[in-house]
Amino acid sequence: MAMREIRVLPDPVLRTACDEITTIDDRVRGLVDDLLETVDADGRAGLAANQIGVNLRAFSWNVEDEIGYVLNPRIVAVSDETQDGDEGCLSVPGLWYPTTRAWYAKVVGTDLDGDEVVVEGTGLMARCLQHECDHLDGKLYLDRLERATRKKAMRELRERL
């Protein structure tokens, strides 16, 4: 297990859709260990594999004293009811912008034994599930911002680089 360095914009790995995990081997087991250790720090709610430079569909979460992971996650349900609130990202440090997400989300994937895993939640957990699945598709929360807000965020980001 290792605490891994977080990749930040403009690293191209963050804009690349991740590959499905087809074989659970020592590399994947090591990835899960690293995801769990790296997400287990103050202020971290979730972490996708590409955020630590690995182009595989896996993420970990650390929400409300629950830490876990899922391989090959896919969102299978979201509520019509939405939540608004500031969202940030480890890969876009220091920027927090209002982002609308579904209030409830449900993700289905597998664990290291190949067994089906269902992860669902409301509020922060739902936000985390949606945020991390976006990462695995090569998207950032900035892509979901309203146009004017996104322009402001991108300007602020360029000034920091």
The annotation status of 131 as a binding-site residue, yes or no, is yes
**Cross-strand pairs, 47:** 60
Annotation marks residue 146 as catalytic? no
d(CA 9, CA 142): 11
Q: Are 56 and 49 in contact (CB under 8 A)?
A: yes
Name the token pair of 153.
């965020």
70/58 Cα distance (integer angstroms): 6
Given the residues 132, 146, 156, 159, the one annotated as active site: 132
Neighbours of 20 (CB within 10 A): 9
Q: Is 133 marked as binding a ligand?
A: no
Q: Which residues are catalytic?
A: 132
Which residues make up each annotated binding site for Fe cation?
89, 131, 135
